[in-house]
Amino acid sequence: MDESLIATINKLQDALAPLGGGSSSPVDLPQITVLGSQSSGKSSVLENIVGRDFLPRGTGIVTRRPLVLQLINRRASVKPQSDLLDINTTSENGKASENNADEWGEFLHLPNKKFYNFEEIRREIVRETDAKTGKNLGISPVPINLRIYSPHVLTLTLVDLPGLTKVPVGDQPKDIEKQIRDMVMKFISKPNAIILSVNASNTDLANSDGLKLAREVDPEGSRTIGVLTKVDLMDDGTDVIDILAGRVIPLRFGYVPVINRGQKDIESNKTIRDALIDERNFFEGHPSYKAKAHYCGTPYLAKKLNGILLHHIKGTLPDIKMRIEHSLKKYQSELSMLGPEMAESPASIALNMITNFSKDYNGILSGEAKELSSQELSGGARISFVFHEIFKNGINSLDPFDQIKDGDIRTIMHNTSGSAPSLFVGTQAFEVLVKQQIHRMEEPSVRCINLIFDELVRILSQIISQQQYSRYPGLKEQLSQYFIQFLREELIPTTKFVTDIIQAEETYVNTAHPDLLKGSQAMAIVEDKFHPKPQVAIDPKSGKPLPPSQQNQHPPQSTSPGPKEDSNGFFGGFFSSKNKKRLQSMEAPPPVLRATGTMSERETMETEVIKLLISSYYNIVKRTVADVVPKAIMLKLIVRSKEEIQKELLEKLYNSPDLADLVKENELTVQKRKECVRMVEVLRNASEIVSSV
């Protein structure tokens, strides 16, 4: 069961390998990432775990691409050999060779090819690295996947990362340190990565670049395990006991001390088998380590890593399953939105887009949009807001008396009565004034049309911002232009209709309107205001009015502050009686003659009557306009656009001679589709793998 779990993760790693293993992969797999400074002994640790010599060696950056190393324990064909140290060696041309039929490597990029010669594996890693990075020591985040089958390994997955470096060497780019750091961070910052931090024990642990980076992403040390190399190179009398006891920099999984082959050992062809025997002897014979020798060395490290990885996989597998399914659904829905590659005729594509657009447009206006937002009003709801909040309040806020002053009413009364002063309140003066004010409603009504136009264009933007429309940018652009052009054409009759409504109100003032205040009522209200009826005294005992003789005992005080009749006539002392010369010479009236002076009581009363009537009629018209203008806009612009837009777009677009050019797919869409097809394929494969667990 345990082996199959690691095998499942290995299969997933292979399945997700086309995604490059970096941040583009939607699934974060549990893996052990090997991290350390250049020349800290990372490669040697890995070779010791595998038990074979297969990694490129040399000075400078040797590992320039991540190496995903999948170790698979496979029984030997002749006799089972469980111990890591039992490697058969045969002499070939006097040189030790460990090649045998039970151990081989396979690369993901070379399917079905088995490498029994581990020298060839090394050459293939170098060749494949150069293929991606060039020979100038550059680096690449695209991993190489290598699988090693052997009876001497524990099933394990490790990712070998480039060693951290400080100074560029040779042709390396100047920012090589940053490039390596960024790449390493991408791998180790994933929550499911276990960090294997390799540190040379003959240097101060506090200066370890590997541990410093591990600390950045794992400050608690909860997913970091330390490896201490070069223990045998420490000065006499010094050891790493304090570090192992967690007294220096504690890590949850602790530290394991190991000994690798030195450069001299490699040059003298010392086998890893011999190196592992020497390692065991060193720890068992060292005074500081012999008590805990079974917790030291490479075999213990491999066993510990196997246990950690298994435990980690068990904990994360349900989440991995969920993530794969979630990502698969996401990419499948994106792929269906992008649609299949263009197999349809241009006419069919145009017809589809026009039909979908008309359907969406009608749906949004009717409040049947596919996605109804709970965050903001949209579509038809915004139009309703324009009609019932903005326009209605705009009309209601019009006040006739912010433009008509009492003096203006007085002047118009004189002008409309002609040469003889009128005996009664003039209907004509009322009509002139009311028409002037009704005309003011035209501007907010036209403004309302423009606001609705803006809202319809907003609906257009809302619809064409959907993924399906961006697939054909040319067609989308043309559709948008024709839609706006159609709306602009419809604005002309709509505006004419609305202005005709206002002009009709202006042309005919319906003084017989049932809601209009009657002239006699207005006169009575004003009369009562200026000449209130005297209060009738009530007998407090009987509650009946007192007889007239007693009423007169308290003559009512005149409460009317109304102006007294002016003896100087309508034009209020235009010619002063003191200036007798001007009176006698009878000078001609001035070029501009205004009614001035204090208004007589009669004038004031007439003005008040007209104001009451204007106010009454104006309120009637306001109600009518606030009701009828939205209906007119609805009829002429909104409903017409709903009914005619499909026909209009079909006429303009469907028969367009440039239709073939318009339905060219967006480059971005083509790229996205390829990406989605790749992701769906990879994730389907991954989904099948995890479903089998």
- Ordered by start, the domain boundaries in the chain are 31-75+94-296, 378-530+599-656
**Range among 65-69, 557-561, 562-566 with highest mean pLDDT value:** 65-69
Q: What is the pLDDT of residue 661?
A: 64
User: In this predicted structure, what is the pLDDT of residue 208?
Assistant: 85
d(CA 193, CA 29): 7
Residue 90's pLDDT band (boundaries 50, 70, 90)? very low
C-alpha dihedral (411, 415, 416, 417), degrees to nearest 10: 100
Residues 8 and 27: beta-carbon distance below 8 Å: no
CATH code of 31-75+94-296, in short, is 3.40.50.300
Instruction: Transcribe 550-568 into DSSP letters.
Output: HHTTSPPPP---PPPPPTT
Compute the average pLDDT of residues 599-615: 69
Residue 457 has pLDDT above 50, yes or no: yes
Q: What is the 3-state secondary structure (H, E, C) of 330-380?
A: HHHHHHHHHCCCCCCCHHHHHHHHHHHHHHHHHHHHHCCCCCCCCCCCCCH
Instruction: Name which residue leads in pLDDT, 540 or 499.
Output: 499
Judged against a pLDDT cut of 70, whether residue 621 lies above it is answered with yes
DSSP single-letter state for residue 291: G
**Quick one: pLDDT at residue 493?**
93
Please name every residue paired with 71 in a beta bridge, in sequence order, or none if there are none.
148, 156
pLDDT of residue 377: 67
Tell me the pLDDT tens digit for each residue of 273-303.
Answer: 889 999 999 999 999 898 989 999 999 999 9
DSSP conformation class of 134:
-
Q: Residue 88: pLDDT above 60?
A: no
Please state at what angle helix 2-16 crosses helix 667-691, rounded to 10 degrees. 170
Confidence of residue 665 (pLDDT cuts 50, 70, 90): low
How far, in Å, CA of 193 to CA of 158, rounded? 10
State what percent of residues in the chain have pLDDT above 70: 72
Q: Is the pLDDT of residue 51 over 60?
A: yes
Query: What's the pLDDT score for residue 556?
Result: 47
**Nearest Cα to Cα of residue 19 among 682, 582, 516:** 682
What is the structure's pLDDT at 361?
A: 86
Query: Six-digit token pair at 604?
Result: 């004031």
- Mean pLDDT within 11-30: 70
Residue 21 is predicted with a pLDDT of 52
State residue 73 phi and psi, 5-degree precision. Answer: -75, 120
pLDDT in tens, 326-342: 888 988 888 887 766 65
Give which of 49, 40, 17 is closest to 161, Cα–Cα. 40
Percent of the chain at pLDDT exceeding 90: 14
Phi and psi dihedrals of 226, rounded to 5?
-100, 145
The top-scoring range by mean pLDDT among 308-312, 434-438, 663-667 is 308-312
Helix (H) or strand (E) run with residue 128 in it: helix 118-133
Residue pointed to by tokens 């949209």: 378
Confidence check: pLDDT of 269 > 80: yes
- Whether residue 399 is predicted with pLDDT greater than 50 in this model: the reply is yes
More confident residue, 570 or 31: 31
Instruction: Kindly state the DSSP code that residue 9 receives in the 8-state scheme.
Output: H
Tokens of 141: 């985040």
Count CA atoms within 13 Å of residue 400 on its CB side: 26
* DSSP letters for 505-538: HHH---TT-TTSPPHHHHHHHHHHHHSPPPPPPB
Of 24-28, 68-72, 261-265, 398-402, the least confident: 24-28
Residues 6+ apart with CB under 8 A from 361: 459, 460, 463, 641, 642, 645
In three-state form (DSSP H/G/I as H, E/B as E, the rest C), the secondary structure along 18-84 is: HHCCCCCCCCCCCEEEEEEECCCCHHHHHHHHHCCCCCCCCCCCCCCCCEEEEEEECCCCCCCCCCC
376 to each of 372, 382, 384, how far by Cα in Å?
9, 9, 14
Confidence of residue 529 (pLDDT cuts 50, 70, 90): low
On average, the pLDDT of the chain sits at 78
pLDDT of amino acid 579: 63
Please give the structure tokens belonging to residue 9: 């993760």
Cα–Cα distance measured from residue 296 to residue 259, given in angstroms and rounded to the nearest whole number:
9
The DSSP symbol for 97 reads E
Cα Dmax for the chain: 155
Provide the residue type at 269 as one letter.
N
350-374: average pLDDT: 77
Residue 612 pLDDT greater than 80, yes or no: no
User: Per mean pLDDT, which range of 119-128, 514-523, 622-631 is the poorest?
Assistant: 514-523
- Checking if the pLDDT of 374 tops 60, the result is no
pLDDT at residue 136 above 70?
no
Q: Tell me the average pLDDT across 93-102.
A: 62
The closest of 260, 287, 292 to 276, measured between CA atoms, is 260
Q: According to the per-residue pLDDT averaged within each range, which of 114-123, 506-515, 544-553 is highest?
A: 114-123
Take residue 402 and report the two structure tokens written for it. 């912010």
pLDDT at 5: 78
Compute the distance between CA of residue 231 and CA of residue 201 in angstroms, rounded to an integer.
6
- Two tokens at 127? 């060749």
Say how far apart CA 295 and CA 311 lie, in whole Å. 19
Residue 630: the pLDDT is 92
pLDDT of residue 137: 66
User: pLDDT value at position 518?
Assistant: 62
- pLDDT recorded at residue 216: 92
Here the tokens at position 659 are 């239709």
List all residues 6 or more positions away from 648 whose beta carbon is below 8 Å from its beta carbon: 482, 486
Give the model's confidence band at 254: pLDDT under 50 very low, under 70 low, under 90 confident, else very high: very high
> pLDDT-based confidence at 89, cuts 50/70/90?
very low
Please say if the pLDDT value at position 428 is more than 50.
Answer: yes
Does domain 378-530+599-656 sit in CATH 2.102.10.10? no
Hey, how many other C-beta atoms are within 10 angstroms of the C-beta on 456? 24
Amino acid 564: pLDDT: 45
Cα→Cα distances 309→147, 157, 296, 305, 330, Å:
17, 8, 19, 6, 29
SS3 of 161-173: the string is CCCECCCCCCCCC
Rounded (5°) CA angle 536-542-546: 30
CB 91 within 8 A of CB 271: no
Per-residue b or e along 458-472, where b marks 16 or more CB atoms closer than 10 Å to that residue's CB = ebbeebbebebbbbb
Dihedral sign computed on CA atoms, order 650, 652, 657, 661: negative
Report yes or no: 506 and 436 within 8 Å, Cβ to Cβ: no
C-alpha to C-alpha distance for 198 and 211, rounded to whole angstroms: 8
Whole-angstrom distance, CA of residue 484 vs CA of residue 461: 11
N-terminal to C-terminal alpha carbon distance within the chain: 9
* Cα–Cα distance, 260 to 51 (Å, whole number): 11
Looking at per-residue confidence, does 577 or 218 come out higher?
218
Task: Taking each helix axis as running N to C, give the angle between helix 298-338 and helix 42-50, from 0 to 180 degrees, rounded to the nearest 10.
Answer: 100
| pLDDT computed for residue 92 by the predictor | 44
- For residue 629, what are its two tokens? 């203008």
Confidence (pTM): 0.55
Least confident of 168-182, 227-241, 497-511: 168-182
Please compute the mean of the pLDDT values over residues 92-116 and round it to a whole number: 76
3-state DSSP assignment of residue 603: helix
pLDDT at 277: 92
β-strand partners of 37: 164
Average pLDDT over residues 228-239: 87
* 23-37, 70-84, 87-101: range with highest mean pLDDT: 23-37
